């Protein structure tokens, strides 16, 4: 019996919408959007591309090395003056319905208010993504398309709101 074929275009559209609407925090002083969650997704894509992740499970320590490299690559573009440690997006990306944590003990506390590397080491075995997203990311063209989409929609636009606030402030000052 033949396996049903996956419509990668529909899968791409579905997950790109989810990523576009993904909530991200802001840097309080500037209003610039944090890039930690998008960078985490780019790190997963890079890990798949590099053959580090061959199964849909991302261990914190393995992902940490890739995440740091990817964060530094995009930090200047997005005007990120402070490094956001992996444990924040690794934990908080659960608010998106495509990122999940596999707990070591099903009776572990499902949530904590402030994640830490210690809490993750003690309670989380690995993270995994929606199986349809995982399948799509096995296709090089779709991996590249999704990475480009994330950079365009979440990294390159991280400073857009702060620039518009600055423009409004400058216009107000000029008007005075």
> In a structure prediction context, what are the per-residue pLDDT tens digits for the chain, which is 176 residues long?
455 578 999 999 999 999 999 999 888 877 888 999 999 999 999 999 999 999 999 999 999 999 999 999 999 888 888 899 999 999 999 999 999 999 988 776 666 777 899 989 989 999 999 999 999 999 999 999 999 999 999 999 887 654 444 544 545 555 66
Bridge partners, 100 (sequence order) = 128
Task: Kindly give, in sequence order, each residue whose CB lies less than 8 Å from that of residue 22, ignoring residues fewer than 6 positions away.
Answer: 37, 38, 93, 96, 154
pTM: 0.86
Under DSSP, is residue 129 helix (H, G, I), strand (E, B) or coil?
Answer: strand
- pLDDT score at 163: 45
Q: Are 38 and 116 in contact (CB under 8 A)?
A: no
């Amino acid at each position: 019996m033949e396996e049903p074929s996956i419509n990668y275009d529909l899968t791409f559209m579905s997950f790109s919408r989810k990523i576009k609407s993904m909530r991200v925090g802001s840097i309080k002083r500037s209003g610039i959007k944090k890039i930690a969650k998008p960078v985490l997704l780019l790190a997963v894509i890079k890990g798949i591309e590099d053959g580090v992740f061959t199964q849909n499970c991302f261990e914190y320590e393995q992902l940490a090395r890739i995440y740091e490299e990817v964060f530094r690559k995009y930090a200047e573009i997005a005007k990120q003056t402070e490094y956001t440690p992996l444990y924040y997006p690794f934990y908080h990306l659960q608010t998106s319905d495509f990122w999940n944590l596999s707990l070591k003990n099903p009776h572990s506390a499902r949530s904590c208010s402030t994640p830490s590397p210690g809490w993750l080491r003690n309670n989380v075995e690995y993270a995994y993504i929606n199986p349809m997203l995982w399948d799509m990311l096995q296709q090089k063209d779709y991996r590249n398309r999704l990475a480009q989409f994330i950079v365009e929609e979440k990294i390159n636009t991280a400073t857009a709101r702060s620039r518009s606030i600055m423009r409004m402030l400058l216009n107000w000052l000029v008007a005075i």
